[in-house]
Amino acid sequence: MNKVRLPYFYHWLRGFWILAVIFTCVTFSLVSSERHLRFSFWSWCMFSWCFCFSVTLIILVLEFTSLSSKLPISWDDFTTAFSMLATLMVLTSSLLFSIFFTCRRLPVRGFHCGKDIAACVFSFLTFFLYAVEVGLTRAKPGEISGFLSTVPGLLKVLEAFVACIIFICVDLLRYNLLPGLQWCVAVYSICFIISLLIIILTIGRLLSRFPAPFNKVLIVCNVLAVLMYITVAVIWPFYILRIYPRPNSCPVVCGWSLAVVITFMTYFNLIAYIIDAVYSFRLVFFTTPA
């Protein structure tokens, strides 16, 4: 497969990766130097910054040493998926830290805002770098390399990411009280695992060894995900908002606000799976082979 590789294009990408490594390092260093109340949102923010820092640094080392071409994976698919995932993770962490932790008068910390504000600025700058990197990767001259560079591939990354946001919110709720809510969590988990497996199979170049036509299997998975998410879209708000009715006042985090966030994310992922299914149908049944 011949690809057009422009040196200046890759110099730009490497420049963004270097800045992203520096900015993520500064961000989690500033945040870790302050005392914060730790719960799942805090853990998500720190994990996102550390994960993006580590993976970006590994990518840089492999690129500069030319070892990326020797790996038994689809390197373009891997970097595309990571750029998309890092963009979403850092954006979410920036928003969560700004809303729930910046200058909050929590009992286990002081009232200084300087480091918190600086961490927010660097985090949003990191998000901007990754977002530009995604745009540059999509606009890369030459042929798009694989599934994760297409719209359904990027949707798979988005669906898995939204499921992660749902998980960190569900962790703070009593979803095990009712079988209906347990079904909802099971649906979130099943769909997340399927999306993650598709991403791993693509990066590992294992789709060609799949025992069935991948496009048709993808359609079946998307249709099943849509049907299961439709049940969740009805069951989850019906039960969870009875357990956590809207209070007169909601502090930094309360059960009702988390229930609403999960409900919104459920409908968001349902729309993503519907678009994914429609797009897959279009590619398989309405695209004329060249």
User: CA-to-CA distance for 267 and 145, rounded, in angstroms?
Assistant: 31
Mean per-residue pLDDT for 108-135? 80
Q: Which of 69-78, 245-254, 279-288 has the lowest mean pLDDT?
A: 279-288
Q: What is the mean pLDDT of the chain?
A: 81
Q: Which among 190-199, 208-217, 249-258 has the top mean pLDDT?
A: 190-199
Which one, of 76, 57, 54, 55, lies nearest residue 65 by Cα?
57
> What was the pLDDT predicted at 6?
47
Which amino acid appears at position 39 of this protein? Answer: F
Q: Which two tokens stand for residue 194?
A: 């399927």
pLDDT tens digits along 11-65: 666 777 889 999 999 998 888 876 656 667 788 888 999 999 999 999 889 888 8
Which residue has 């993808």 as its token pair? 218
Sequence ranges of the domains in the chain: 1-146, 150-289
First to last CA, the chain: 16
- Read off the pTM: 0.78
Name the percent of the chain in helix, strand, coil, to the closest 5: 75, 0, 25
pLDDT tens digits along 212-250: 777 788 888 999 999 999 999 999 999 888 888 888 877
> What was the pLDDT predicted at 111?
52
Report, in angstroms and rounded to the nearest whole number, the Rg of the chain calculated over CA atoms.
Answer: 21
Q: What burial letters (b/e) apply to 230-249, b meaning 16+ CB within 10 Å? A: eebbebbbebbeeebeeeee
